[in-house]
Structure 1
Amino acid sequence: MTNLNEPTAENIEFMIEAIKSKLRMATAAAMQASHFSTARYEDIKEIYEIVSSKENFSISEVEALVSELGQLRN
């Protein structure tokens, strides 16, 4: 298990990849970890924790989460 307590680029990449995989994002290629700053680490971690805690998502939930991620991009 990765230690997600440190705001590193590697942790951001781990979380973004996990989110993309879990949400089965059609636009996953557009969501690169390099587009996110460690300054937004806590926000990204919060989305990661939400995504990790649920088994299934409605279309509107996926859209809302993807929209939120989009707002966190550099």
Structure 2
Amino acid sequence: MNLQEKSAENIKYMVEKISQKLNIMNMGVMKPEQFDEESYEELREIYEMVEAKRQFSPSEMQAIATELGTLRK
């Protein structure tokens, strides 16, 4: 998968991976269709940071969730 390319498929992939890694129980909170290509680069940066870490503190998880909330349409 080429995440350099802005696409709805890539957004869906990144949102699902972030949700899995952060163990977000309510997947309805983060739906791929809530994000658009305008926020693609920011979403990709969050995805890359989340994928690079093994564990997250509660405050890190809250900060990531807050940032994702600002990117939603």
Normalized against structure 2, the TM-score is what? 0.96
Alpha-carbon distance between aligned partners in 1 of 2:55 and 2:19, rounded to the nearest angstrom: 13
Match of 1:20? 19
- 2:51 is matched with 52
Say whether 1:11 aligns with 2:10: yes
- In the superposition, the TM-score normalised over structure 1's length comes to 0.95
Instruction: Give 1:28 deviation, angstroms.
Output: 2.5
In structure 1, C-alpha distance between the alignment counterparts of 2:37 and 2:22, rounded to whole Å: 22
Residue type at the aligned position of 2:63: A
**Aligned partner of residue 65 in structure 1, secondary structure:** helix
Report the Cα distance in structure 2 between the residues aligned to 1:28 and 1:63, rounded to whole angstroms.
Answer: 16
Cα distance in 2 for residues equivalent to 1:26 and 1:73 = 18
Aligned residue type for 1:8: S
RMSD (CA atoms): 0.7
| Identical positions, percent | 44
Structure 2 unaligned regions, length at least 5: none
